[in-house]
Structure 1
Amino acid sequence: MELRHLRYFVVLSEELHFGRAAARLHMAQPPLSQRIRDLERELGVELFHRGRGGVRLTEAGALLLEHTRPVLDGVDRAREAMRRILPGTAGTLRAGIPPDTAPEVLRTIAARFAAQAPDVLLELHEVSTDEQIAQLREGTLDVGIVRHPSDTVGLESGPVLSRRLGVVLPAEHRLAGSELVRLRDLHGVPLVVFRREMAPRLYDHILAICRDNGFLPGAIRHARNPNFTHGLVLAGMGVHFNEEHPLPAGLTWRPLDEDRLRWSSSVVWVPTRANDVIAGFAAAAEEALRAAGHSLSIVD
């Protein structure tokens, strides 16, 4: 049983309307409905009566609400207590960062944010796009850097900055000497990519572009850690799309012929929690991405 599902349950119990509850939680209605059904299946009871007359708590739902509110209140008090003992008179900022963020981007974010908000402790968490969005909505993250396309309904976003992707190949690959690699020339080659659940819309977007260009991977292998990704490519078990950055010996990066293959990123946060500290982080992240070669982009 996840705390965020209990929070969703409490908000729906207070609103007794899926649309209003979803808006209050800064999420779309279908995912909220699914999470409530997941909770009901886990507990083996029906928590709400759903009918033309609206939504109302069942007896089981009323009992769960009685037990859940003290639990969530206790969690909130514990979090606040931990925030108060952290270094920095103004507390802490919890920020989500994509797992494959370049080291120089992290360094610049940390340096710029420290200069702008020296009394705030910056906690950087390695979190995928969809995990960030869920944690922002449940309040366990304050701000995040997400990849697009993604489901950011109800969240505020800074400017979208992007950088073209190329292909990471073994140095001895037949295309390693090409000035520009055509996607169709990779047809049948395995592709190493992040797991779909990390960023479903981006995952589907990448594979659709490959298909449009005549590149159907012979296999899809999943990796989250850059070292594991590079190891798979070195072993000849696939190629990998990424922006240009320093690589281990034995690997090379070549540009691709498809402008739509990009890392497009923006800082996101819950509008009702916006403050000067989040604005300072957004400015630091934008500066860091621009310094790493990212520029303004338009998300379809």
Structure 2
Amino acid sequence: MELRHLHYFAVLAEELHFGRAASRLHMAQPPLSQRIRDLERELGVQLFDRTRPRVKLTEAGALLLEHVRPVLSGVATAREAMRRIRPGESGVLRAGFPPDTHPVALPTLTSAFSRRVAGVLLDLHELTTEEQLAWLRVDKLEAAVVRHPADTVGLESGPVVRRELGMVLPAAHPAAGRPGEPVRLRDLNGTPLIIFPREMAPGLYDHMLSVCRDEGFLPGAIRHARNPGFVHGLVLAGRGVNLNEEPATPLLDGLVWRPVTSPALAWLTSVVWVPARHNEAIAAFTEAVTEALTATGHRIDAAGEAGAVPAG
């Protein structure tokens, strides 16, 4: 028993007219009649009473119709689910995003993406750069929003956006100075540094420490933390200073954020993807990410593409 034969049967049961049923099925009437006879022969029952002037369902036909309708409905539901799961085809786009993304970026992103491809569901995952790259390469993501430098060999990238970094430090720290006054990294020499764990983004981690060293800042200790509340608690407790972008919300009393003088310290962020999987949805997502990050203080980096950023 083939599924298409059940479909032919259900349509004929609804129309009770071979000509109209054949027209709905986009087929000629004789092949439809043959398929129905094949089904009756296989089941060993007569499904339709063909006595003129009209076709009628037999008792066996009515019983079969009760069983066939939920089967065909389930098949249609399964097909729709499979259609929606295909990325970029009115389906789902799975994408990663850094854990410390500015909160305003996400509603801006989803709105901008929906304007471009209204039929695609955006499935966002909070993942570190290293996690995103790993997921991307095993087809668990279609697109990743990563921080550079990073190992993006074999991947394509959209525009790189830049967000300058600064330092979160105790308000009483000698290097704090006045609001808006940049901190010279060498003035922090010997101070412990609080930074994200290296496994989150190894290339970026090494790059940041290298810049600090070149600017005369050799931390007295390195402490790892990723949750902003815990990071700020450590700074408030005098356990170190934190290199990060300007906070999205006011800091706790006793803490200040100051820009740093080194232009080499910045978040460089872009969307990356596997070249063979690029489609309209990924292109729309890339544009939406650029729009969202620009709205939260990022700007297009002069270097242009992530491929120009060293792997670190």
Superposed displacement of residue 177, structure 1: 2.5
Superposed displacement of residue 158, structure 1: 0.3
1:96 to 1:238, Cα distance in 2 relative to 1, 3 A: same
Superposed displacement of residue 122, structure 1: 1.2
Do the aligned residues in 1 keep the contact of 2:83 with 2:89 (CA within 8 Å)? no
Asked if 1:117 corresponds to 2:117, the answer is yes
Match of 1:248 among 231, 248, 251: 251
Superposed displacement of residue 257, structure 1: 1.0
Once the two structures are superposed, residues 22-65 of structure 1 have per-residue CA deviations (whole angstroms, 9 ceiling, x without a partner) of xxxxxxxxxxxxxxxxxxxxxxxxxxxxxxxxxxxxxxxxxxxx
Task: Give % identity.
Answer: 60
Which residue in the other structure is 2:25 paired with? Answer: none
Tell me, what secondary structure is at the counterpart of 1:153?
A: coil
Superposed displacement of residue 277, structure 1: 0.6
- Give the aligned CA root-mean-square deviation in angstroms: 2.2
* Amino acid in structure 2 at the alignment position of 1:282: T
Which residue in the other structure is 1:151 paired with? Answer: 151
- Which runs of structure 2 are paired with 1:221-240 in the superposition (5 Å)? 221-240=223-242
Once the two structures are superposed, residues 170-193 of structure 1 have per-residue CA deviations (whole angstroms, 9 ceiling, x without a partner) of 223222224121001111111111
Once the two structures are superposed, residues 66-122 of structure 1 have per-residue CA deviations (whole angstroms, 9 ceiling, x without a partner) of xxxxxxxxxxxxxx9688589x98221111001111101122111111222222221
Do the aligned residues in 1 keep the contact of 2:165 with 2:260 (CA within 8 Å)? yes
* Structure 2 residue runs without a partner (length 5+): 1-79, 304-308
1:255 to 1:85, Cα distance in 2 relative to 1, 3 A: closer
Larger radius of gyration: 2
1:274 to 1:233, Cα distance in 2 relative to 1, 3 A: same
* Amino acid in structure 2 at the alignment position of 1:94: R
Which residue in the other structure is 1:100 paired with? Answer: 100
1:123 to 1:296, Cα distance in 2 relative to 1, 3 A: same
Which residue in the other structure is 2:269 paired with? Answer: 265
* Amino acid in structure 2 at the alignment position of 1:247: P
Do the aligned residues in 1 keep the contact of 2:83 with 2:90 (CA within 8 Å)? no
Once the two structures are superposed, residues 114-168 of structure 1 have per-residue CA deviations (whole angstroms, 9 ceiling, x without a partner) of 2222222211111111111111010001101100011101111001111111101
Asked if 1:290 corresponds to 2:294, the answer is yes
Superposed displacement of residue 249, structure 1: 2.1
Do the aligned residues in 2 keep the contact of 1:83 with 1:92 (CA within 8 Å)? no
- Which runs of structure 2 are paired with 1:148-227 in the superposition (5 Å)? 148-178=148-178, 179-227=181-229
* TM-score calculated relative to the size of structure 2: 0.67
* Structure 1 residue runs without a partner (length 5+): 1-79
